[in-house]
Structure 1
Amino acid sequence: MAQSLLEEFYDLLGHNTVELRIQAGQGVALLYQLVRQHDNEFSWQQEECLCQLLQELTTDSHKYRAKRDRKEQRAWFRDVVHTLQNDDDENHMKCIEKVTVGPEHDREKVLLDTWCLKTQYKALCNVLGEGLNTHLTYNVGVRDVFSLGPPPDPQDHTHSPALSRSQKKINKLKESTVSKARHRTRKKNRDNKATDKTYQD
């Protein structure tokens, strides 16, 4: 299974689209990492060609590719090559990513130090969008994936979840409506007082 998947990834590494090349490289790194958890001596039959191609992608300087694409590609594939060449390394990744989550008054660090965690985090980002921060703070299942421990007590107001943009807009609209109504009431009261004073005079 792993051999056939690597063959498909290898073919995609030569694709014209930089995003697809990067995805293929990430797939190679993830597959190697997972397989080597069960077989430390795993190697692909065309591993030498694979490593050579990956190394070329880390130094790709073809002018027909956009400068931004070349920079992004080189950064990703350096990490992929590091994974394949350092299979005994505990973290397997050269570029460890840290993501900050939680409300401003109680920040937590999510450590993405394996390709598996990085892939899971990316998938959750695509599915949950802006709600990911709340899930990482209070969802037990999601927190277990990233070893964040038990969630904070929802009854503790110091750990109240951050409001989404839509919630903030709704609250702001409510406050604006209340403020306008209060202003109209005060103005009406002032007008009534002025009228009463005029009649008394």
Structure 2
Amino acid sequence: MPRSKKGKRSSTKGGKNGVKGESGASDDDLASDVLSHYSSASESASVLEEGTGGGEPVDDQTAQEETEDKLKQCIDNLMDKSVKTRLAALESLRGAFSSRLLYDFLMERRLTISDCLERSLRKGGGEEQAAAATVCAQLCVQLGGGDEGEEGFKILRPVLSAIMIDNGASVAARQSCARALGMCCYVSAAEDGEDLVKSLSHLESVFTASYPNREGVLPIPKAGVSGLHSAALHAWTLLVTLCPASRLTVLLDLHLPKLQACLESSDVNYRIAVGETIALLVELARDLDKEFELEDCDTLCECLKGLATDGNKHRAKNDRRKQRSIFREVLHYIENEDYTEEKIRFGVEGIYIDSWVRRRVYETFKEVLESGVRHHLQFNPLLRDIFGLGAPLILDASIKASKISRFEKHLYNSAQFKARTKIRNKVRDKRADVM
């Protein structure tokens, strides 16, 4: 996959677009205050306005300065002795990093923040480690993967890996570190590939614990460990998309047979993660060799058919529905080499998710940025480069004014829902008559 030093990489697969607080306010109030400035409910580029003491609106510059002051307070609070204060600060930064672009603000403070996050990861409890790892991933996305991102990743990679492979650490912290390691490496790994190889190896050491033993028997997972294995597998799969052809061939031969055996896992979410990984690996193999054929493909397809039609009553209804949906897609791709594409809309733009590789990349950014992913797709140069969107659009006033209001959209959706309900009721009536 082509990569550049600053932009890091092009579209994943030929897309169609492509000072501690001295005030009396509590830590929770501060967290809420910062998050209110960075609400992801709005996709506009303007800073939220707040009234002053006299009730008069403040201009964008003043609001920006007030918000940055609050973020500076949060950064200072990362060094506080109180665990509650540090957790509140991490939560505030998580919300801000998710919903806004803060490149200029963070460039001046990236080393300070990296040091604080490293301290939380090394000395904090499980909850603090998990929160710090998430902010690490968001920080890499904010910095955009240039020299600054690589510098930060060099600092954070060893500690993220150490926690992830530590069996004595909190499972939640290990899981969060696995996600962060995958994202940070994808965005910020140096061109020499050393960090990529090490990250892949550490992630493998985690999820391969779910592989069958020499007798072909799957291990019985401990409580919560399947979620860790899923996170590590997803992160590993993301990094596999960066591997050169020579290494990819080795990984396919080594992991595909073992992953097929893991389709019998007792955990539904891990089964789904395995199924998606198999589809992605086959997709990469077919991109390398148009004549690629899976060994024992018939057996794999039979297993996928069983999972796509699984009706075991001892499994939760939602789990069965989710599993059947995913494995129908996986089976369809394995048999027909066809991916059912999806369009993700944001603002006046959209991207097509038209491959398993593209899907894994988007889902990873969505996990890290949560509801702020659409804002970043609109304005973050890193995501726009990865998905082939070009420079951020600058909309003029006429285009902004022509956007449908939320109330109008609600009325339209209500009308559409009523119309669909009427049509479906008619169809149900006809089915009843036939039966």
Q: Same fold (TM over 0.5)?
A: yes
Pick the aligned partner of 1:141 from 365, 382, 393. 382
Q: Residue 112 of structure 1 corresponds to which residue in structure 2?
A: 353
Q: Residue 176 of structure 1 corresponds to which residue in structure 2?
A: none
In the alignment, residue 113 of structure 1 is paired with which amino acid? D
Moved more, 142-151 or 57-66: 142-151
Q: Extract unaligned runs of 5+ from structure 1.
A: 160-201
Give the alignment's TM-score, normalised by structure 2. Answer: 0.33
What aligned pairs does 1:81-120 form with structure 2 within 5 A after superposition? 81-87=331-337, 92-94=338-340, 96-102=341-347, 107-120=348-361
Deviations 1:4-30 (A, max 9, x none): 211222122111111111111000111
Q: For residues 130 and 61 of structure 1, what CA distance do their matches in structure 2 show? A: 33
Q: Residue 70 of structure 2 corresponds to which residue in structure 1?
A: none
Pick the aligned partner of 2:394 from 143, 148, 153. 153
* Percent identity of paired positions between Structure 1 and Structure 2: 36
2:315 partner SS: coil
Q: Which has the higher contact order (CA 8 A, sep 6+)?
A: 2
Moved more, 23-32 or 60-69: 60-69
What aligned pairs does 1:22-37 form with structure 2 within 5 A after superposition? 22-37=272-287
User: Per-residue deviation at 1:3?
Assistant: 2.3
User: Per-residue deviation at 1:85?
Assistant: 0.9
Task: Answer yes or no: is 1:58 the counterpart of 2:277.
Answer: no
In the alignment, residue 343 of structure 2 is paired with which amino acid? K
Could you say which structure has the larger radius of gyration?
Answer: 1
Deviations 1:118-160 (A, max 9, x none): 1000100112223322210112221122222321138x5767x
1:60 partner SS: coil
User: Per-residue deviation at 1:114?
Assistant: 0.7
Moved more, 127-136 or 45-54: 127-136
Q: Residue 138 of structure 2 corresponds to which residue in structure 1?
A: none
> Any runs of at least 4 consecutive aligned residues in structure 1 with deviations exceeding 6 A, and if so which?
none
Deviations 1:30-51 (A, max 9, x none): 1111110011121232322111
1:100 partner SS: strand
Instruction: Report the RMSD for the aligned CA atoms in angstroms.
Output: 1.8
In the alignment, residue 60 of structure 1 is paired with which amino acid? D
